[in-house]
Amino acid sequence: MRSLFVDEKRCIGCLACKESCPEGKIHIKDDDVREIIFPSTCGNDCAICEEACPEKAISLGDEKPREPEITLRFHLIPCEDCLRGFITEPMLERLEARIPRDLQIDSNGLSWLRFCPRCRRALERERMAASLLWE
């Protein structure tokens, strides 16, 4: 059994680790705050979560863990439309830094990065319907 270590300064709360874990050992709670709960030990030596992390915040090692589980908390930025929290601050900062500014703004001048996926789809449906009606 190997110990799982998470570098709190590097983790952006993207959930790549949770989505990739074949045993489903990484859990989340999303309200206004995202909590990611990592087990401190992992019986599976696959290291898939370590490889999936885009920020290289996870590592597996042989040292003894200090705590039974590791919990990281992130403030969630609210969607510009529905006001539900959907993206962590570090994740949004990472996207804004890596995506060219002109690609972050849609044809109506809105920053699509600040809309949750559900509201983005709804806005796009409305635009498509309006453009079809005009034709």
Q: What is the pLDDT of residues 54-112, one digit of tens each?
A: 999 999 988 887 788 999 999 999 999 999 999 999 999 999 999 999 999 987 788 89
pLDDT at 54: 96
Of 56, 64, 54, 55, the closest CA to residue 4 belongs to 64
SS3 4: strand
Q: Rounded mean pLDDT of the chain? A: 91
**What whole-number distance in Å separates Cα of residue 130 and Cα of residue 135?**
9
pLDDT at 135: 64
> Model's pTM, two decimal places?
0.83
What's the pLDDT band for 44 if we cut at 50, 70, 90? confident
Tell me the domains of the chain and their CATH numbers: 2-76 (3.30.70.3270), 77-134 (no CATH)
**What whole-number distance in Å separates Cα of residue 51 and Cα of residue 22?**
13
Other CB atoms closer than 10 Å to residue 98's CB: what's the count? 7
